[in-house]
Amino acid sequence: MSATDRRNRGRAFTLIELVAVIVLVAILAASVGGPILSSLGSIRTRHAAARLAGDLAYLQRIALNTRRRTWAVIDVAGNRVRYYVEDAANPGKANRQPLVHEATGSSDAVQFGAGEFRGAALSSCSIAGTGELEFDSFGAPYDGNETALVADGTIAFNSGVMLTIRAVSGLVEVSG
């Protein structure tokens, strides 16, 4: 073996050194990445709550601007929310139509627990004991029985995030 071969051989890493470095990097990644990944679920839940609050404010604006009633049907068991608007030709709840959301171009339900809302789940809804919120043509909030709200309504998500729909004004607030 020549002197050059011995010098090059001495510069290489041994298998034990490589394994030690990999173990140290894994320990650092677990200690730093763990807390970040654990908070990701609560971030997604807050994002889902903010989206729902924005959609409810949008429903109220549609009701005010078009003078047609709008509805949000909150399905806790299905973990989704559907939006509807009154049919101008056939007024009334029985003839309501799915609302096409201008931002998404879709009339599909907003599905929580999947996609951008993965980890977010509806845990309860109480709009005067119903799972439905209506805005009349003046933007006033009503429950699923078409009775004006006299007490605040709530929609709760996992991780303690809560939406409160204020009686009379329909203002939606997010907390948690």
pLDDT of residue 10: 60
For the record, the structure tokens of 66 come out as: 């078009």
pLDDT of residue 44: 86
Architecture of domain 40-175 in this structure: 3-Layer(bab) Sandwich (3.55)
Backbone angles phi, psi at 72, to 5 degrees: -120, 125
Residue 16 near residue 23, CB atoms below 8 Å: no
Q: Which residues contact 144 (CB under 8 A, 6 or more apart)?
A: 127, 128, 130, 131, 132, 133, 134
Q: Which residues contact 50 (CB under 8 A, 6 or more apart)?
A: 174
Entry field: residues in the chain: 176
pTM above 0.75, yes or no: yes
pLDDT of residue 36: 63
pLDDT of residue 49: 94
Residue with the two structure tokens 């101008």? 88
For the record, the structure tokens of 1 come out as: 């073996």
Q: pLDDT tens digits for the chain (176 residues)? A: 565 555 555 677 888 888 888 988 888 877 776 666 566 668 889 999 999 999 999 999 999 999 999 999 999 999 999 999 999 999 989 999 999 988 788 899 999 998 889 889 999 999 999 999 999 999 999 999 999 999 999 999 988 899 999 999 999 999 98
The full set of domain ranges for the chain reads 40-175
